[in-house]
Amino acid sequence: MARAAAQYVCQECGAVTPKWSGRCESCNAWNSIIEEAARQAPPKGLSGKAGRKIEIVGLEGAEAPLVRQTTGIKELDRVTGGGLVPGSALLVGGDPGIGKSTLLLQAAARLAGQTGVLYVSGEEAVDQVRLRARRLGLSGAAVQLAAATSVRDIAATLDAANPPGLVVIDSIQTVYLDSLDSAPGTVAQVRASAAELIRIAKRKGFVLFLVGHVTKEGQIAGPRVLEHMVDTVLYFEGERGHAYRILRAVKNRFGPTDEIGVFEMTDKGLVEVENPSALFLAERRGNVSGSCVFAGVEGTRPMLVEMQALVAPSSLAAPRRAVVGWDSGRLAMLLAVLDARCGLSLGGNDVYLNVAGGLRISEPAADLAVAAALLSSATDQPAPADRVMFGEVGLSGEVRPVGQEESRLKEAAKLGFAGACLPRRAGRKSANLPGGFALTEIGHLHDLVALFKRPNPKPLKADSHGRLAG
């Protein structure tokens, strides 16, 4: 019998090439192409056997109300949209050791009192999972454990008459289908294994959690189609040097996207953080230059976070730009706007920007707070410690309004701030804020620069090192 021809598949994007190469032409990933056995029989056309007609119904219908299962972990329920939907599939990704298995084991132990729970580990033995449960104080929970990697064996167990209400597969890169010749973790295995498990979950009506490994770029390993197959995609973020962990929803068919949950890693597992704003501002000192409080919104939750900037003279021909937790491209844009529209020569300095607490900010509403932190560091004058700032900066230097303004202001007032610097808006409605909460409208960056002038009436200029001086 003729030997089946081999094919070469990229493990990052799933592209198929006839021969091996060091770089994938589709996604430009290096050393991601491996050899896989081709299918014995390629898929044929539709000639021959007739298909079965599908049922067609109208858009309106009497559907049963959606019943969610709450895990008892409020931050996890918030991210999933209020609880877990029966028959849904959720993919959880994150760096190694970030706490994915810990979170899911804690959620499984909480749900074990409501429904049957099965935790299938393909990376650890049963005794290792029991050791983690004992460390977390969960050894008494009615969680069923199994160590298996064969999808055929897992499917036979789940096809039983009384399947569990929650199934955790840790991880999808370790399980395999014996009908495929490729190794576990390859594109073909991950795609086929996930499809089989999701099909069983939809048919039996249990909640399926899939743990996914991530690449060095932070994306979930395997084919991109894996994120399209599941109902919810959750990313577990955090820095190893910080105790805080952020659970972020980037896709959710049953709830809002870009919602986050905040946890703190302790020796007893992950602990919910009910007031993240107070946590991120706990170590803040208001009399230090280069610091400003940003009133942001993550999903539906307003959150206050400290933006820290340092502008220092550079001895290099190309000054350094180091950014942690924000977009480096927007920092370069702000520096160019301050230079071109406000006459401030900051380009010759080293600029460092950090979002305190390990949080990652992506919304453009942080532009005004970052600009204030840069001006505060350049002038060596502290920003108003009792004010929060938010607003988007345009290329002409104008400050544009942003959404969910009222929720940002209410969060600032709740934490004891006395006012806010915000974009100028015509016909602004008075929010339900406590008396004495002052609003300073800023229409252009010139208005922000005026807040950092020294007491003497001399205009603000830049010295030879690019620092602002009165």
CB 247 within 8 A of CB 254: no
166-170 and 117-121: which strand pairing? Answer: parallel
pLDDT for residue 456: 35
CB 234 within 8 A of CB 91: yes
Neighbours of 248 (CB within 10 A): 20
Alpha-carbon torsion angle 227, 233, 238, 243, nearest 10: -150
> Is 62 among the domain residues?
no
CA distance 144 to 109: 10
Q: Do 156 and 256 belong together in one domain?
A: yes
Token representation of residue 221: 């390993």
pLDDT for residue 46: 60
Q: Do 268 and 357 belong together in one domain?
A: no
Q: Do 260 and 288 belong together in one domain?
A: no
pLDDT for residue 47: 61
> For 66-113, what is each residue's pLDDT tens digit?
788 999 999 999 999 999 999 999 999 988 888 999 999 999 999 998
Q: Do 240 and 343 belong together in one domain?
A: no
> For 303-330, what is each residue's pLDDT tens digit?
999 999 999 998 888 899 999 999 999 9
Listed in sequence order, the residues at least 6 apart from 192 whose beta carbon sits closer than 8 Å to its beta carbon are: 151, 177, 180
pLDDT for residue 397: 95
Radius of gyration in angstroms for the set of CA atoms belonging to the chain, rounded to a whole number: 27
When pLDDT is cut at 50, 70 and 90, the band that residue 217 belongs to is: low
CB 400 within 8 A of CB 393: yes
CB 204 within 8 A of CB 163: yes
Q: End of a domain among 259, 274, 289?
A: 274
> Is 24 among the domain residues?
yes
Q: Do 19 and 110 belong together in one domain?
A: no
pLDDT for residue 458: 35
Give the residue ranges of DSSP H helices in 60-149: 74-79, 100-111, 126-135
Q: End of a domain among 256, 274, 292?
A: 274
DSSP letter (8 states) at residue 203: H
Residue in 91, 81, 112, 99 with CA at minimum distance from that of residue 271 = 99
Q: Do 450 and 313 belong together in one domain?
A: yes
Q: Do 212 and 309 belong together in one domain?
A: no
In sequence order, the β-bridge partners of residue 441 are 422
pLDDT for residue 121: 95
> For 253-291, what is each residue's pLDDT tens digit?
998 887 889 998 888 899 998 888 887 787 777 678 999
pLDDT for residue 398: 96
Mean pLDDT of 139-162: 91
pLDDT for residue 460: 37
Q: Do 24 and 163 belong together in one domain?
A: no
Q: Is the dihedral of CA 14, 17, 22, 24 positive or negative?
A: negative
CA distance 189 to 209: 17
DSSP letter (8 states) at residue 261: E
Token representation of residue 350: 């080293």
- Number of domains within the chain: 3
Q: Do 363 and 385 belong together in one domain?
A: yes
Listed in sequence order, the residues at least 6 apart from 99 whose beta carbon sits closer than 8 Å to its beta carbon are: 236, 238, 245, 263, 265, 270
Print the domain residue range for 302. 279-426+436-469
pLDDT for residue 180: 85
Q: What percent of the chain has pLDDT over 70?
A: 89
Q: Is the peptide bond before 21 cis (omega within 30 degrees of 0)?
A: no
> Is 264 among the domain residues?
yes
> Is 64 among the domain residues?
no
Report the helix count and the strand count for the chain, using DSSP H and E.
11, 23
CA distance 299 to 259: 4
Q: Do 259 and 307 belong together in one domain?
A: no
Token representation of residue 408: 């940002």
pLDDT for residue 36: 75
Higher-pLDDT residue of 218, 452: 452
Angle at 146 between CA 144 and CA 149, to 5 degrees: 150
Mean pLDDT of 237-248: 82
Q: What's the mean pLDDT when you consider all of the chain?
A: 86
> Is 55 among the domain residues?
no
DSSP letter (8 states) at residue 219: S
- Above 80 in pLDDT, residue 454? no
CA distance 319 to 347: 8
> For 157-198, what is each residue's pLDDT tens digit?
998 768 899 999 998 999 999 988 888 888 889 989 999 999
- Above 90 in pLDDT, residue 232? yes
Q: What percent of the chain has pLDDT over 90?
A: 51
pLDDT for residue 207: 96
CA distance 251 to 215: 19
Q: Do 326 and 368 belong together in one domain?
A: yes
> For 37-78, what is each residue's pLDDT tens digit?
665 555 556 666 777 888 888 888 766 777 889 999 999 999
